[in-house]
Amino acid sequence: MAATIQTNRLQKGLIKHVITLGANNDAQAFQLPRVYSAGLDIRSSDFGGGTVAIQAAPNGTDYLALPTAVSTTSTAIKSIAVADLGFVNYRAIITGATAPATVTITIHATELPV
């Protein structure tokens, strides 16, 4: 299963991304411009032995671990540290999976007022 993303604006200032990852090294990029909070709800009945992480790309193409790492090997609630919200380009990735996985990551972000 290839990675997928669905993005919704719930109301002014609130963004919701729903990402699904399904195989080792599956990755899905997303953007969080002008946000001051981002919470993650990471759920799966099977991580396939892998680790799900959130990475950022300062230049838009070369993704690296966040200074305050966000990763898990099981269902969890996480957040992106405020100090790490200065990036725009992020991605969710699963690595080390030795079996098919089905992971859903729901990201709730709040934008800065204009």
Query: Which of the four pLDDT bands, split at 50, 70 and 90, describes residue 1?
Result: low
List Cα–Cα distances, 106 to 17, 33, 49, 58, in angstroms: 6, 17, 20, 22
In the chain the domains, ranked by start, together with CATH numbers, are 4-98 (2.60.120)
| DSSP code at position 113 | P
Q: Could you give the percent of the chain with pLDDT greater than 70?
A: 99
* 3-class DSSP state of 84: helix
Distance CA 102, CA 66 (A): 23
Cβ burial 40-56 (10 Å sphere, 16+ → b, else e) = bebebeebbebebbbbb
For 30-54, how does the pLDDT look when each residue is reduced to its tens digit (9 = 90+)? Answer: 999 989 999 999 999 889 999 999 9
- Token readout for 96 is 């080390």
Residues of the chain above pLDDT 90, percent: 75
Full-model pTM: 0.91
What the block records as the tokens of 19 is 């990402």
Strand-pair category, 14-21 with 4-11: antiparallel
Structure confidence by residue, pLDDT tens digits, 93-107:
999 998 888 899 999
